[in-house]
Structure 1
């Protein structure tokens, strides 16, 4: 089987492990290995035939050691999660939408899982990469880099793309900042989000629950969005839990978080070039709903710059074989000569190689195989899955750090098909031995090629990229900063090209990429300073779209595309081309084309109440009335006129009069307030908060806005009651979105006036595992913790804390604290003291406190494990 782990494709055949082509056990002769594999194929049991054939080899050979990380196809609601956990599997993600499950299953139990009737297929876990040119880091290296970046923090950093795209000119000329839009990112993670916020680089970010991810590319992309469109709201979800999770998060960001513009920089290796797979289908769903979707075109090279690592075309039989006892190798030479290999120049660190052919996903009847050979023709690695009618037309392998490598494609059975062979981040280059290379355009694939997505190519904003990616590449270009982009700009030599030829459900050729934007820009995030790759280009284009929507609310995808296409700077070669699409975006020219009207956005702020009748104390109580002051602010870009505010409670025991008031006009950035009367009935429950709905109307398309607030009533008690989790330690699943929960039952409080939450512990230590701390974990930065009230309302306590620090012990979360726990350095471990939660605990007190509270922890990175041991909450009632 092939598993993508830590940047290495691992091949196991018949119990022999080969990493990057080098055997880690005494390898048999390649011909002997192939013969063994072919014999196994004929003897697979029905459950084994449900399993990816590379996994089936190990099942057939009774391999029991270790675990296999797999994607399980099953119907929604199949109930497999609990059954998998009972077998000792670590369920990393379960899609409520499709039923797909990502899990690490013990090899000794894989046959059992495959035998369940609810299981349709079991595949190796799909892996992905971002479109950044930054090398991967371990968790420890990343934690050290973050700590150094915090120490070195200085002035706010602004992307050079703000100037080169003319976005700064738009904000000054048109007074449009992104107000009224929500821009959302899907990438690896947002580890440094709290650091960026503390430094003034980012505002609040709406992160999908337990989807903060692992890494920092998401933080860097969010900073680019905010630099160009500072008035826009921001959101985030990771794309790296699994391909099913990525697809789910795309739809959740649109349909639950209400994002207007989405942008990602991720490619899953199993995304087909020839049809819209599950991720692309989710992109199609959100664009059909009116969202704009931007995706990185990729950094895999192009034909114009001689950096292509892609070959695409019809299969031509050569009449020759490679290593099987059956099979016909493809002839790469279109002329009279025969050439059954294509030489590749491999960059340092190797490359992932994928093979797809034009058959529907899940229905491949033709069986193709992929071989990696050395200069002498020896088989270094191979991928020869079985395709017999219910499989994907897909093979994958990894390359070692070696020279003289060649790839071969063999049709083992079936019909000649159109196919794509891609050596990602490598190049098809003629060998020193005189073997000519054959390459084509069409590298761009997957969801970036969705019909209504904006696939974004890259051009440098400032200094050129300073790394030779593959020897023999042309020089990297530079950008115009501090000037603006012109039509003379050269794109990045690594940006992936199109077009994308689709076969299913009907043949069509899509002109991709769509547009080009800036990379090579600075952010405050360490490792992304500068930030190169189409990962940086896509958020620049997305931010410009946000400015268009801000000045033209209601603009459609077609409107934005028309404006982009009409105003983009046409780069060489002339016309719409396969490397840069319609050309480079200039925000100032786009908005000159669309026009822009600064929009007012009037929003209610937190009301305050002053008792007007009653016993003379400072508390509004049953039977009393109070003066309710309701302020509003014009947070928009234009003057607001005709403002009116309506306040309601929905509770017959709490009434507001008058129902509405006129507020007049309000310039941008200004605020004002009006008074209402709030009356409580004599039977109003002690301490129950009044839930206010405040609706603000004004002249403008962003009207109305609605907000909800809670007004405290009753006199708080002077003492608190403590309630603790009383059960045994609960293990936190490693790298799992499911996480672990513990209950804290509460009785006899009624409504509460104040809440603090504690992660307890008798003796605080950095030792792991520890039986004396509240949460033992050797890498607290992996954890995200939330607290849920009995009514289901949640508040996030912390995420991404303390770099590589260990353990939480005697930690108190209190809304009155000054700092977030995320600001604590790793050297402060074991983490202790009083800290401000990331989301206010006060928001959990709108319902009755009696019932079961739930503390939930997820671990979003692999390798380190721990447990919840001792937690409690303190609730103050009323007198």
Structure 2
């Protein structure tokens, strides 16, 4: 492939958002794994850093020797020598303390660290790149990681409002329900960055005005006073305002509800944001941010380095907020199923007895010195290169493919006892770049048990590549799970139709929400018996092996995820893509038609489904204020329209939500509990 004439561009997707490009005709070195030996990876401060920070450290100081400085060291990278902290480059990090987080925070801030959040022993904030080593050298630091965030996705109204029967509920229930008295907190990438960009370009005659929060309020697509608790920190250079698109959906379904918003920069900040959104109005968190008093919280945001086989700190924050504050929590399940070919699972992992040997002459193979995983879980054959197909894209577009490997060792506490290396090769398993192979680099012993690598594909034709997983050191894992976390790619062989939900949607007290195109529902197409699951809507079914602190469970358990499915593909004023439903332009059912003037703004993904479900919860809670969050979840589950496999399953959960039936179910359940309920009256 490296010498063919396909239109291929491969580039590392590092956790810092930096993309290096290499063409098929001229594959140049790219910053994949840090160029360090196994012993260097495991020594000194390097052992406390994740692979992303290790790469950044090497890039910032290419001439450095990776020696460990003392905490008082004044050494700086060449790019920042003599520059005051305010002028240096910063990186968002999560710092895990092994002692007193208050004392560690003071030491970090003395290095120029800007604290944004604290949750238990975790500190989130912005660290000067030049101080990575010095921060890692502090005695109170257990590990430091650089998070990589992703989303799962008035003038207009959501067609999903009708397809999930929430419009029917509002139109027929007496007394009126519209979410009044409830606040829905939204967690996403940004809310009103467009307004900042408009202001920054006010004197630019070529600037095209971007629709903003102010425009949406004026057109009644948002409530008059959304509370922005924390906006994204990089609005001028980025920020899609996906949170505002979610808020539009909530406002369509529950127009009387207040909306609050929080944009987290790290996992610690995410956990802090959940608590701050739920904090009563009139109170402030420890960073001076106003509490929003949210009874319902919904997110579509995740971090690639969240765990799979256990809950992490975000899941802990969800569970704590639901149980202690009485909130209800909804989370986008993810968009990784890829028709059942988005994951690989091997519960009987077998690694080769001998390591890959270095060759005397010619190009070195991938994973030299490492024992390779046999991807054939049956053991009948030996397959060390698992094939993956990357989908071609139209000219000018790209396919940002990211894949992670997880194994049955902790993500917290003591961390992984083993080091693994995930590599991308051509369709025969050979390296794509001899000078700088596309590999994650050895994962750190003591770091979370995960390795991640990514490429960017711009070719117009589908392309075959392979993945290899090598054991660098430590005991061989007994279970390995791979998930394609981003982009358009599928496992061409051994795709196991298994779990692609990972991270905080797996939390016990979060409702993970899958997606069904609003148009492919019985309301919009009466001939359908049930709603049709989007082929990307992520599956559950992966077991928990550890507690959130990294200690092993007495017995593995499988979280019942997703809980249910809600509509996507609905119209917003500014966010989304062209509709995939040509028939929806002039649908037979009026409420299912596309909105003229907004045909390019159809919001797909579980990011759109989750706020639909959260807004229904606001209607239910207004109608039944004596209910608790478990009552809400139970009513939505038991009244859902069964989908996919008969009964509850790991693809669609309990099925497609039906707001009117959910309220009837909720009221009956409360009566059975002896709780007083309002009586519904038909209008």
TM-score by length of 1: 0.56
Coordinate RMSD, CA, aligned: 3.4
1:276-332 CA distances to partner (integer Å, 9 max, x unpaired)?
101111111112122111111111115xx3442443533222346454453321111
In structure 2, C-alpha distance between the alignment counterparts of 1:324 and 1:574, rounded to whole Å: 44
Alpha-carbon contact 1:21-1:399 (below 8 Å) kept: no
Q: Could you say which structure has the greater relative contact order, defined with CA pairs below 8 angstroms and 6 or more residues apart? A: 2
In structure 1, C-alpha distance between the alignment counterparts of 2:504 and 2:470, rounded to whole Å: 27
Alpha-carbon contact 1:371-1:407 (below 8 Å) kept: yes
Equivalent in 196, 209, 214 of residue 194 of structure 1 = 214
Where does residue 308 of structure 2 map in the other structure?
273
Equivalent in 121, 127, 138 of residue 148 of structure 2 = 127
Map residues 702-781 of structure 1 onto 2, 5 A cutoff.
none
Equivalent in 481, 487, 495 of residue 537 of structure 2 = 495
**1:328 aligned onto 2:380:** no
In structure 2, C-alpha distance between the alignment counterparts of 1:339 and 1:450, rounded to whole Å: 34
More strand by share: 1
- Which secondary structure state, in structure 1, belongs to the residue aligned with residue 143 of structure 2? strand
Query: How many residues are paired up?
Result: 537
In structure 2, C-alpha distance between the alignment counterparts of 1:23 and 1:79, rounded to whole Å: 49
Where does residue 419 of structure 1 map in the other structure?
480
In structure 2, C-alpha distance between the alignment counterparts of 1:448 and 1:226, rounded to whole Å: 23
Equivalent in 249, 265, 287 of residue 322 of structure 2 = 287
**1:357 aligned onto 2:393:** no
1:609-644 CA distances to partner (integer Å, 9 max, x unpaired)?
xxxxxxxxxxxxxxxxxxxxxxxxxxxx999xxxxx
Alpha-carbon contact 2:624-2:667 (below 8 Å) kept: yes
Map residues 203-602 of structure 1 onto 2, 5 A cutoff.
203-211=223-231, 214-239=239-264, 241-255=265-279, 256-289=291-324, 290-301=326-337, 305-319=339-353, 321-322=355-356, 323-333=366-376, 334-347=378-391, 348-362=398-412, 363=414, 364-380=416-432, 381-388=438-445, 390-401=446-457, 403-412=463-472, 413-424=474-485, 425-430=487-492, 436-462=493-519, 478-479=520-521, 482=524, 487-505=529-547, 506=553, 507-527=556-576, 529-595=601-667
Query: Do the aligned partners of residues 29 and 156 (structure 1) sit closer, same or farther apart at CA in structure 2, a change above 3 Å counting?
Result: closer
1:586-605 CA distances to partner (integer Å, 9 max, x unpaired)?
111112222499xxxxxxxx
- Which secondary structure state, in structure 1, belongs to the residue aligned with residue 260 of structure 2? strand
1:641-685 CA distances to partner (integer Å, 9 max, x unpaired)?
xxxxxxxxxxxxxxxxxxxxxxxxxxxxxxxxxxxxxxxxxxxxx
Q: CA deviation at 1:180?
A: 2.5
Alpha-carbon contact 1:342-1:428 (below 8 Å) kept: no
Equivalent in 105, 125, 137 of residue 102 of structure 1 = 125
- Which secondary structure state, in structure 2, belongs to the residue aligned with residue 176 of structure 1? coil
In structure 2, C-alpha distance between the alignment counterparts of 1:21 and 1:513, rounded to whole Å: 40
In structure 1, C-alpha distance between the alignment counterparts of 2:443 and 2:315, rounded to whole Å: 25
In structure 2, C-alpha distance between the alignment counterparts of 1:34 and 1:47, rounded to whole Å: 14
In structure 1, C-alpha distance between the alignment counterparts of 2:651 and 2:625, rounded to whole Å: 31
Alpha-carbon contact 1:374-1:405 (below 8 Å) kept: yes
Q: CA deviation at 1:247?
A: 1.1
Alpha-carbon contact 1:11-1:17 (below 8 Å) kept: no
Q: CA deviation at 1:162?
A: 1.1
In structure 1, C-alpha distance between the alignment counterparts of 2:656 and 2:113, rounded to whole Å: 46
Alpha-carbon contact 2:405-2:483 (below 8 Å) kept: yes
In structure 1, C-alpha distance between the alignment counterparts of 2:128 and 2:387, rounded to whole Å: 37
Alpha-carbon contact 1:20-1:399 (below 8 Å) kept: no
In structure 2, C-alpha distance between the alignment counterparts of 1:54 and 1:121, rounded to whole Å: 12
Gaps of 5+ in 2: 1-10, 67-76, 81-88, 193-211, 234-238, 280-290, 357-365, 392-397, 433-437, 548-552, 578-600, 670-677
Query: Do the aligned partners of residues 18 and 319 (structure 1) sit closer, same or farther apart at CA in structure 2, a change above 3 Å counting?
Result: farther
1:756-804 CA distances to partner (integer Å, 9 max, x unpaired)?
xxxxxxxxxxxxxxxxxxxxxxxxxxxxxxxxxxxxxxxxxxxxxxxxx
**1:73 aligned onto 2:96:** yes
Equivalent in 100, 111, 114 of residue 133 of structure 2 = 111
Q: CA deviation at 1:51?
A: 2.8
In structure 2, C-alpha distance between the alignment counterparts of 1:40 and 1:501, rounded to whole Å: 34
The structure with the largest alpha-carbon Rg is 1
Map residues 32-181 of structure 1 onto 2, 5 A cutoff.
37-38=37-38, 40-41=40-41, 44=43, 46-52=44-50, 55-56=53-54, 58=58, 61=65, 64-65=78-79, 67=89, 69-71=91-93, 72-74=95-97, 75-78=100-103, 80=105, 84=109, 91=114, 93-95=116-118, 98=121, 100-107=123-130, 109-123=131-145, 125-132=146-153, 156-174=155-173, 175-181=176-182
Gaps of 5+ in 1: 1-6, 133-154, 431-435, 463-477, 598-636, 640-879
TM-score by length of 2: 0.72
1:682-707 CA distances to partner (integer Å, 9 max, x unpaired)?
xxxxxxxxxxxxxxxxxxxxxxxxxx
Q: CA deviation at 1:537?
A: 0.4
- Which secondary structure state, in structure 2, belongs to the residue aligned with residue 184 of structure 1? strand
More helix by share: 2
